[in-house]
Amino acid sequence: MSHLILQSPNLLSANIEKLAAIVNAEGIQELGSAGPVTAVRLLEAESSVTQQAEVQELCQQWHMDYAFLDQIRLLRDCRILAMDMDSTLISIECIDEIAAAVGRKQEVAAITEAAMRGEITDFSESLRRRVALLEGVPHTALDDVYTQRLQLNPGAEKLVATAKRHGLTTLLVSGGFTFFTEKLRERLGLDHCHANTLEVKDGLLTGRVLGDIVDGQAKARHLQALATTLGAEPEQIIAIGDGANDLPMLAHAHYSVAYRAKPVVQEQARFALNASPLDAVLNWFRVSF
């Protein structure tokens, strides 16, 4: 038997009851604080392959997120919260917005999209191609992107703050740039950040990256190194991403989460959030707020 967590900004009682009937749930428990119900737990739910497929189809149709869990663990029993940055923790792809400063956003964004969908398999090469198109961009354009364009995705602050309060170590691993990860480290109190460093000369981007590129395998290595240091097992790791280059990292986490993710990530991650904010992850655990 499992527990089935259902989440959406607009949960309808009729839909909840239909899903409860499909999995022969013994009860329905509302989750969250006062206000409109956005999350429920279906207790002692059956989870055959047929039942899971039916739940998936209906949840996609009704724009609901679902998660089958064998048990509801304590959040404090986890050790690591690992996250991608662009289009996961934040709402934009920073490199695309930097390219806008020189009228190359469309060209750069097309490469970014192909890389995130897994259509370009060599992430490092795709990043070099995109960064080369940034040659001559004033370094001040990065400040403009941070102050004018960058926004945290809904639920990001609550997820990070709650995870830290329960003793989890936070890790931000990005194929983006240290300029932004360091600002987010300070803003959110993140424990570890890894990203790429843009070369700057005379106040202008040179179109080159300094040092080794943080690609999918590097993300996985950073997570595995932290897990080894902390003695964290996969069942104690939450990892969230949206693009193909996040898959190696997600493979190290039992709680692998596809957030508004590309199809290739949705297919391989254990969980997905397509309707709910990032802090919906917390409803998969027992959390004392």
Q: For 223-263, how does the pLDDT look when each residue is reduced to its tens digit (9 = 90+)?
A: 999 999 999 999 999 999 999 999 999 999 999 999 999 99
- Mean pLDDT for 277-287 is 96
The angle formed by the CA atoms of residues 65, 119 and 103, to the nearest 5 degrees, is 95
Q: Grade residue 94 by pLDDT with cuts at 50, 70 and 90.
A: very high
Q: Grade residue 37 by pLDDT with cuts at 50, 70 and 90.
A: confident
Q: Look at residue 34 in the predicted model and tell me its pLDDT.
A: 59
Protein fold of 1-72? Alpha-Beta Plaits (3.30.70)
Percentage of the chain beyond pLDDT 70 is 99
The three-state secondary structure class of 91 is coil
Q: Grade residue 120 by pLDDT with cuts at 50, 70 and 90.
A: confident
Q: Which of 235, 200, 188, 242 is nearest to 219 (CA)?
A: 242
Average pLDDT score over the chain: 95
Q: Look at residue 121 in the predicted model and tell me its pLDDT.
A: 84
From 83-87, 110-114, 267-271, the region with the lowest mean pLDDT: 110-114
Q: Which of 184, 242, 194, 197 is nearest to 220 (CA)?
A: 194
Q: Grade residue 102 by pLDDT with cuts at 50, 70 and 90.
A: confident
Catalytic residues: 84, 86
Query: What's the predicted TM-score (pTM) here?
Result: 0.95
The three-state secondary structure class of 212 is coil
Q: Look at residue 35 in the predicted model and tell me its pLDDT.
A: 67
- Going 278 to 283 to 284 to 285, the CA torsion angle's sign is positive
What is the rounded distance in angstroms from the CA atom of residue 161 to the CA atom of residue 20? 32
The pLDDT of residue 33 is above 80? no
User: How far is residue 72 from each of residues 7, 12, 268, measured CA to CA in Å?
Assistant: 16, 23, 22
Q: Grade residue 67 by pLDDT with cuts at 50, 70 and 90.
A: very high
